[in-house]
C-alpha cells in the first residue's frame, strides 16, 4: 500500500453508507470500486476508501490502519469509554460534526409501565448494545442497575423476559412503537462525525486532510445556503438587511434609471422560508428571487 495516500474508513453497508459516499462525491472525490470490494481507489485525490462494519471504524483509526473515518458519535463515544475503562489511550480525534446519521440513544420502557425519571431505573435490568454509554449515564446519576449487554435485537428483550427496559438507538420511534415500547429519556444525541488519527501525517497527506476539511465545511454550508436577489427602495435597506436570514454583508448594486432603488444580492446561510419573503416584500422589496448555491469556499 502507498504510504503517501490517505486511508478513510466508512461503513460498508448500512445507514451511513450512502450519505458518506454522497459527502465524498460532493467533496469532488472520484472513486473506482464495486460496492462489495473492501477498498476503493481515489482517482483524483491521494485518498483511498475502506469499506468496513461501522463498529470497526474507531479501531482502524486507533490502530493507525486508517488516517480518517466517518462514524456515528454513538459508536465513537462507546469506544472512547471502553478504552478509558481498560486504561488504554484514545488514538482518534473528532474533527468535524456532520449533518447526517442523526439519531439518539434512548431509554424505552414497555408501554403501560410507569416511569418517573432516572430514579425509576434503580435495580432494573436494562438491555443494550451500548454498555459503556449506559454505564456512564447511570454512574453520573448515581444509579445502580443491571446492564444486560446484547449484540442485537435489543427491542425484543423485554418481551423475552431478559430485561425490564432497553437502551437503544431511535430516530423516528417506529421500531419502538412496533415493539410496544415507549421512549422515556435520551442518553446521547448522535450524528455522524469525521475522525482522524492524532498522529502527525506526512506533509502531503496533511495538506489533503486540510483540503478535505475545507471542502466538507463548504458542502455542509451549501446544503443550507441560498442566494437571494431582490430590488429594494434605498431607504428600506436597513430594515431589509435585518430581515435577510443569516447573511453577513449583502452586495448592493445601483439600478440603472432608478436612483432611489437598488438591487440586493446576499448569501443566506439558513433556509429561506415563505414567511421571510413575505416580510421582505412588506418592507418594500420586489422582484425577489431565491437560488440554490452549488459550491462555496470560504
Q: Contact positions toward Zn ion, by CB under 5 A?
A: 54-55
Q: State yes or no: residue 101 binds ligand ATP (CB under 6 A).
A: yes
Diameter over CA atoms, the chain: 80
For ligand ATP, the closer CB: 61 or 236? 61
Please give the helix or strand (H or E) that residue 237 lies within, else none.
helix 237-243
Residues 6+ apart with CB under 8 A from 142: none
To the nearest 10 degrees (0 to 180), the angle between helices 73-85 and 131-140 is 70
Find, among 109, 110, 111, 103, the residue nearest to 172 by Cα: 103
Rounded Cα distance between 7 and 265, Å, is: 41
For Zn ion, the closer CB: 87 or 152? 152
Q: State yes or no: residue 103 binds ligand ATP (CB under 6 A).
A: yes
**Residue 186 partner contact from ligand ATP, Zn ion, none using kind-dependent CB cut-offs of 5 to 8 Å:** none
Q: State yes or no: residue 269 binds ligand ATP (CB under 6 A).
A: no
Find, among 284, 242, 283, the residue nearest to 266 by Cα: 242
**Residue 16 partner contact from ligand ATP, Zn ion, none using kind-dependent CB cut-offs of 5 to 8 Å:** ligand ATP
Cell match 448500512: residue? 14
Q: State yes or no: residue 14 binds ligand ATP (CB under 6 A).
A: yes
For Zn ion, the closer CB: 48 or 54? 54
Q: State yes or no: residue 106 binds ligand ATP (CB under 6 A).
A: no
Stretch that binds ligand ATP, among 96-104, 118-126, 159-167, 251-259 (CB under 6 A): 96-104
For Zn ion, the closer CB: 70 or 266? 70
Per DSSP, the three-state class of 26 is helix
State the minimum distance, in angstroms, from the CB of residue 94 to Zn ion. Answer: 18
> What are the C-alpha distances in Å from 214 to residues 97, 101, 161, 243?
13, 20, 50, 29
Q: State yes or no: residue 15 binds ligand ATP (CB under 6 A).
A: yes
Which residues in the 45-84 window bind ligand ATP by CB under 6 A? 53-55, 72, 74-75
Q: State yes or no: residue 108 binds ligand ATP (CB under 6 A).
A: no
Rounded Cα distance between 102 and 4, Å, is: 33
In the complex, the residues that contact ligand ATP under the rule CB under 6 A are 11, 14-16, 53-55, 72, 74-75, 101-103, 169, 171, 190
Amino acid at each position: 500500500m502507498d504510504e503517501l495516500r490517505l486511508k478513510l474508513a466508512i461503513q460498508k453497508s448500512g445507514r451511513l453508507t450512502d450519505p458518506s459516499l454522497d459527502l465524498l462525491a460532493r467533496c469532488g472525490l472520484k472513486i473506482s470500486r464495486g460496492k462489495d470490494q473492501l477498498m476503493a481507489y481515489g482517482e483524483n485525490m491521494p485518498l483511498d476508501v475502506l469499506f468496513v462494519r461501522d463498529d470497526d471504524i474507531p479501531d482502524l483509526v486507533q490502530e493507525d490502519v486508517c488516517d480518517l473515518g466517518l462514524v456515528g458519535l454513538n459508536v465513537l463515544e462507546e469506544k472512547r469509554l471502553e478504552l478509558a475503562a481498560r486504561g488504554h489511550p484514545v488514538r482518534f480525534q473528532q474533527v468535524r460534526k456532520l449533518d447526517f446519521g442523526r439519531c439518539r440513544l434512548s431509554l424505552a420502557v414497555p408501554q403501560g409501565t410507569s416511569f418517573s425519571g432516572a430514579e425509576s431505573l434503580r435495580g432494573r435490568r436494562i438491555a443494550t448494545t451500548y454498555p459503556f454509554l449506559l454505564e456512564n449515564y447511570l454512574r453520573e446519576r448515581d444509579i445502580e442497575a443491571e446492564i444486560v449487554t446484547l449484540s442485537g435485537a435489543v427491542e425484543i428483550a423485554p418481551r423475552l423476559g431478559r430485561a425490564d427496559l432497553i437502551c437503544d438507538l431511535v430516530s423516528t420511534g417506529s421500531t419502538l412503537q412496533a415493539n410496544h415500547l415507549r421512549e422515556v429519556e435520551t442518553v446521547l444525541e448522535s450524528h455522524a462525525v469525521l475522525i482522524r488519527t492524532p498522529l502527525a501525517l506526512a506533509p502531503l497527506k496533511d495538506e489533503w486532510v486540510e483540503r478535505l476539511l475545507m471542502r466538507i465545511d463548504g458542502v455542509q454550508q451549501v446544503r443550507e445556503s441560498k442566494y437571494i436577489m431582490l430590488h429594494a427602495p434605498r431607504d428600506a435597506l436597513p430594515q431589509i438587511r435585518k430581515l435577510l436570514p443569516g447573511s453577513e454583508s449583502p452586495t448592493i448594486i445601483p439600478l440603472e434609471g432608478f436612483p432611489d432603488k437598488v438591487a440586493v444580492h446576499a448569501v443566506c446561510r439558513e433556509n429561506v422560508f415563505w414567511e421571510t419573503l413575505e416580510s421582505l416584500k412588506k418592507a418594500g422589496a420586489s422582484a425577489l428571487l431565491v437560488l440554490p448555491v452549488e459550491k462555496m469556499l470560504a
